[in-house]
């Protein structure tokens, strides 16, 4: 994938604030153990949920990653959190995929950008 | 660096919410052009500012990265934004280092973790 293609796809296209963000920083365990497949499925499934606005994600080669998902409301976040298929993924995240994670829910109040 | 060392250093140790976050997602231009040196310096300098709480950062091999810095207040963020040496770095970021970025200021309301 070229840099230009990544620029198109990596950034979330969001409305004006306010909206909510879920900042999920995490350290992967070694090995895949079904992670990539489930991660792709969760991105796809999240995008179908009411109130979903977008997602941005980066993972370094050492396995440390940050995923920020954006939502219209706290209710939308709570509904996604309790989604049955997502709960199965959360369980596997706790037992298999993440050595450590921090999850923070934050209300975006202001936004700026440099776009080419 | 081993996974265990990264776990120690990659996660910010933060107080209980509320506090503020600056979510900076960005696509690097090709080449270094002084970026790594300045990025290290900005991490060092930010940590000396009043109200600084911590930082987490991940960049993928395609040059897309997310850095989230954490602050005690909006005033602390505004002061850091207008810091003279940081402004020079911002200018170089606009002209040299970032093809595209999005900067979002968000108030963290809740936090959860899995820690080993």
B88-106 pLDDT tens trace = 999 999 999 999 999 999 9
Q: Is B36's Cβ below 8 Å from some Cβ in A? A: no
What would the mean pLDDT of A108-113 be, rounded to a whole number? 96
From the list A23, A57, A60, the residue facing B23 with the nearest CB is A23
Cis preceding linkage at B18, omega within 30: yes
Q: Is residue B45 pLDDT above 90, yes or no?
A: yes
How do B64-71 and B19-28 pair as beta strands? antiparallel
From the list B62, B102, B107, the residue facing A11 with the nearest CB is B102
Q: Which of B20, B66, B108 to mutate to test the interface with A (most CBs of A within 10 A)?
A: B66
Confidence class for position B2, pLDDT limits 50, 70, 90: very low
What would the mean pLDDT of B64-71 be, rounded to a whole number? 98
* pLDDT for position B114: 87
Cis preceding linkage at B110, omega within 30: no
Count of beta carbons in the 10 Å neighbourhood of residue B13: 8
Q: Determine whether the interchain pair B100/A68 forms a contact, defined as Cβ–Cβ distance below 8 Å.
A: no
The pairs formed by A32-38 with CB atoms below 8 angstroms and a separation of 24 or more are A33/A96, A33/A97, A34/A92, A34/A96, A35/A96, A35/A97, A38/A89, A38/A92, A38/A97
Non-local CB neighbours of B14 within 8 Å, separated by 6+ positions: B53, B54, B70, B111
* pLDDT for position B7: 42
Q: Is residue A3 pLDDT above 70, yes or no?
A: no
Our CA-based measurement puts residue A103 at a distance from the nearest CA of chain B, in whole angstroms, of: 5
φ, ψ for residue A50 (rounded to 5)? -60, 135
Q: Is residue B9 pLDDT above 80, yes or no?
A: no
Residues in chain B: 116
Whole-number average pLDDT of chain B: 93
Q: Which of B23, B103, B106 to mutate to test the interface with A (most CBs of A within 10 A)?
A: B106
* pLDDT for position A23: 98
Contacts of B10 in chain A (CB under 8 A): 25, 27, 62, 64
From the list A3, A62, A112, the residue facing B99 with the nearest CB is A3
* Residue A82 to residue B61: CA distance in whole angstroms: 33
Q: Determine whether the interchain pair A6/B101 forms a contact, defined as Cβ–Cβ distance below 8 Å.
A: no
Contacts of B27 in chain A (CB under 8 A): 3, 6-7, 10-11
* pLDDT for position A51: 98
What would the mean pLDDT of B37-66 be, rounded to a whole number? 97
What would the mean pLDDT of B45-49 be, rounded to a whole number? 98
Contacts of A111 in chain B (CB under 8 A): 102-105
Q: What is the pLDDT of residues A6-57, one digit of tens each?
A: 445 699 999 999 999 999 999 999 999 999 999 999 999 999 999 999 999 9
Select from B33, B41, B45, B26 the least CA-distant residue to B98.
B26
Collapsing DSSP to helix, strand or coil, B47 comes out as coil
What would the mean pLDDT of A96-113 be, rounded to a whole number? 97
> Which tokens is A99 given?
């050595």
Q: Determine whether the interchain pair B1/A62 forms a contact, defined as Cβ–Cβ distance below 8 Å.
A: yes
Non-local CB neighbours of B114 within 8 Å, separated by 6+ positions: A93, A94, A98, A100, A101
Confidence class for position B6, pLDDT limits 50, 70, 90: very low
* pLDDT for position B63: 97
Is the reported ipTM for this assembly greater than 0.90?
yes
What would the mean pLDDT of A64-81 be, rounded to a whole number? 98
């Amino acid at each position: 994938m070229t840099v230009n293609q990544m620029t198109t796809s990596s950034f979330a296209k969001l409305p004006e604030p306010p909206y909510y963000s879920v900042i999920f920083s995490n350290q992967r365990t070694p090995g895949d153990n079904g992670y990539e497949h489930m991660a792709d499925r969760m991105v796809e499934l999240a995008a179908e949920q009411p109130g979903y606005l977008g997602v941005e994600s980066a993972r370094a080669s050492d396995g440390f990653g940050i995923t920020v998902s954006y939502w219209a409301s706290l209710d939308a976040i709570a509904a996604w959190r309790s989604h049955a298929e997502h709960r199965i993924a959360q369980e596997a995240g706790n037992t298999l995929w993440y050595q450590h994670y921090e999850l923070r829910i934050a209300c975006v109040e202001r936004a700026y950008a440099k776009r080419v």
